[in-house]
A and B are shown apart, each in its own frame.
Chain A
Amino acid sequence: MKHLRHLVIVTLLLLTMGNAWAQDETAEAPFETPPGFASWDDVLQQAKGTTVNWYMWGGSDAINAFVDDFYGTVLQDEYGITLNRVPVADTVDAINLVLSEAEAGKTEGGSVDMIWINGENFFTLRQADLLYGPWAQTIPNSTLVDWESPAVAFDFGVPVEGYESPWSSAQLHFIYDSSRMSAEDLPHNYDELTAWIAAHPGRFTYIAPGPGGYMGTRFVKQVLYHVSGGDEQWNGEWNPTLYAEWSPKLWDYLNAWKPNLWRSGETYPANENELAQLFANGEVDFAMTQATAGAGPYIAAGLIPETSRAFTFEQYSIGDYNYVAIMKNAPNKAASLVLANLLLRPDRQAGHIRPETGFGLGYAIDINRVSDDDRAMLQKAFADLGDGAADPAALSAAFAPDMAPESQSIIEADWEANVLRK
């Protein structure tokens, strides 16, 4: 089956790309049980009747409703756990809360149990030693995750070491409206995009890198890969010299677009939802998504026209896993562990990829590790993604990893100083 082959290709790519991160790869001998618990049964027992405070980005009602429904009801019915999903405008708000509590000396009974997290936010909390763990390889469904793969075991190059557990996978690519443009007119790399922008003034914009603008930062990194001629040199530790060499050219490249951007590049949409709204109202011709289901989730939520389709450039489409982490001062660690485990359950994974959920992100588990029945279910869900999704083969061909965590705040600050404020 074509789709299955592509899925395998993606997995292989994630595996091979991981060589770039190859450092001291002695996998830690996993603990048998999560720290502080006698057994998984003990976890289940202690979790019953408690609440889990899950802090996650709340900017999409569809995802909010999906999480409450898809996980909340199961947690309640099967485990007796109440899900308290706490929406935050940006993950960094949750990080800030945890840091503030630490500053106030609150080592127990904090506000936050679990955060939907990755990248530099994970790095911040790891550095501050505010995460509970290691637990990620002690939960039952962790056997379904390919922890050998560096793509999973390293988050922005930072070793996970069991302090967070994956939820789903994502890859940044684009959306266009097939009723407005035909597939032949689509740009397929950044130089073609530059030409397109010049030919269609005011019809393109990107998300502003910065808080809440995670996808904007990622987009700018993709342009940086293009400008510097490759992504492999950016793997591994943060290289300030390399950055100093290429960033001026990056800013020049982006500034050259400015006169022909939407609003002449004086302002940019703050997040992907604002961009989607501009796209839906016909102010610009491209939107962005990270969902494996492509344009599907937005369409299902009624946010963009049904003729929207996803597509990718030929190269430099950054993808990664996203995770959940448990706080050191979390009041409900048992419930959090149960939730993290539930996220990896094959039926839940097969469900979250569907566009109707509004979520549509990819799998975090390895389909080669599940039972035959589950494998069929996962394959079917993947095959049913519909027209809104981009071609999986193209996505896997264009895959590139993200950079070291230091890159996030540096690029965000420098973009603001060198592009926005110029």
Chain B
Amino acid sequence: MVERHRGTPDIKSILRYLLLGIMGLAFTAPMIAFLLNAFARQWFFPQLLPQTWTLEAWERLLSGRSEFVQALGNSALIASVVTLVALILGLPAARVMGLYRFRGKRVIEFLLLLPAVVPPLAVSMGLTVNFLRWGLAGTWVGVALVHLVPVLPYVVLILSGTFASYDVSHEAQARSLGAKPLAVFRYITLPMIFPGVVVAGLFAFLISWSQYLLTLLVGGGRVMTLPILLFSSASGSNNTTIAVQALMFTAPTLLLLLFTSRVLSRNALTGLARL
């Protein structure tokens, strides 16, 4: 280890911490801007701080009849359902992709990866008309179905990363001791893949939560979610409303990340690196 003199700050480390500080500021600046705007009224150039502070935007948005509350409810409902369904559908597929080699695996890999990275444009345009015919358009169920398209691949990807470093022999041992398959899953498999499941669930929730185009086209304006609301507000000009909506839209995902950050740092990076 190179020895450092304690107490004498050298230029290099000052520069280093300065750069890191700027980095930190750069990545948090928009949130700060939102926080300031959310409580401002009549905040015009070149005032650095709002001349009047107000809570009126919060009161309006959080009141019972506001469409914001409706949007929040829809977003939460859809994201939760999508997460659950994606996990159920994706877990078995991820197990296969992570553990086994088989002919045609490359093709399946391609099929599973494509919906995650391909832009939602063509798919959602194509689905819109058919969903209209099947009565799914304009319903939250239709929107949740369509969200599976970008969500499912990520869930499979992350979980297959988890399974790739998973030792199946434990299952074999448990079975040889007489455990039933369900018990094996519950007491052996699940605990071992749990961190991966949390990460995959987090991603599923995040992706569904922030979908705009898919919800817009399939929901047809009848399914109001937070991104739709925010986008339409952003095209108007009341910065205070926009800021409040942006904060409320981002806060839950930030909280979720904080909550699972321990788990995230250990497994998610491996999963992400495999993308």
A interface residues, Cβ below 8 angstroms from B = 53, 55, 58-62, 64-65, 68, 72, 85-89, 93-94, 97, 100-101, 103-106, 111, 212, 270-271, 273-274, 276-277, 280-283, 301-303, 305
Contacts and interface: CB of A to CB of B under 8 A. Distances in A.
Contacts of A88: 221, 232
Nearest to A60: B236
Contacts of B129: 100, 103-104
A59 B132 contact: no
Contact of B236 (A55, A100, A103, A273): A273
Contacts of B233: 61
Interface string B67-96: 100000000000000000000000000000
Contact of B60 (A53, A65, A86, A277): A65
A283 B138 CA distance: 41
Given A97-B221, A100-B132, A302-B42, 20 more contacts: A58-B236, A59-B232, A61-B236, A61-B238, A68-B65, A85-B67, A86-B222, A86-B224, A87-B221, A88-B221, A93-B221, A100-B129, A100-B220, A106-B132, A106-B133, A111-B220, A271-B236, A273-B235, A282-B44, A302-B240
A335 to B, nearest CB: 16
A89 B132 contact: no
A60 B123 CA distance: 31
A53 B60 CA distance: 21
Interface residues of B, number: 29
Interface string B148-174: 000000000000000000000000000
B242 to A, nearest CB: 9
Contact of A301 (B66, B128, B222, B238): B238
Nearest to A106: B132
A274 B237 contact: yes
A386 to B, nearest CB: 18
Nearest to B219: A111
Interface string B101-128: 0000000000000000000000000001
Contact of A61 (B41, B45, B130, B241): B241
A302 B41 contact: yes
Contacts of B236: 58-61, 271, 273
Given A88-B221, A280-B44, A72 B235 contact: no
Interface of B: 41-42, 44-45, 60, 65-67, 128-130, 132-133, 137-138, 220-222, 224, 229, 231-233, 235-238, 240-241
12 contacts: A58-B232, A59-B235, A61-B60, A61-B233, A62-B238, A89-B231, A100-B129, A104-B133, A212-B235, A273-B236, A282-B44, A303-B237
A303 B232 contact: no
Nearest to A53: B222
A76 to B, nearest CB: 9
A97 B220 contact: yes
Given A86-B221, A97-B220, A281-B45, A271 B132 contact: no
A72 B65 CA distance: 10
A104 B45 contact: no
Contacts of A274: 237
Nearest to A85: B67
Contacts of B222: 53, 86, 111
Given A97-B221, A111-B220, A87 B237 contact: no
From B66, B132, B237, residue with most partner A Cβ within 10 Å? B237
B42 to A, nearest CB: 5
A105 B133 contact: yes
Contacts of B240: 302
Contacts of A277: 237
A88 B42 CA distance: 26
Contacts of B138: 111
Nearest to A88: B221
A58 B221 CA distance: 11
A55 B232 CA distance: 13
B237 A94 contact: no
From B130, B137, B229, residue with most partner A Cβ within 10 Å? B137
A94 B221 contact: yes
B184 to A, nearest CB: 47
Given A58-B232, A281-B44, A104 B132 contact: yes
A72 to B, nearest CB: 7
A282 B67 contact: no
A273 to B, nearest CB: 4
B172 to A, nearest CB: 52
Contacts of B67: 64, 85, 87
Contact of B237 (A55, A58, A100, A273): A273
A399 to B, nearest CB: 28
A249 B139 CA distance: 50
A55 B83 CA distance: 31
A280 B60 CA distance: 23
A280 B129 CA distance: 43
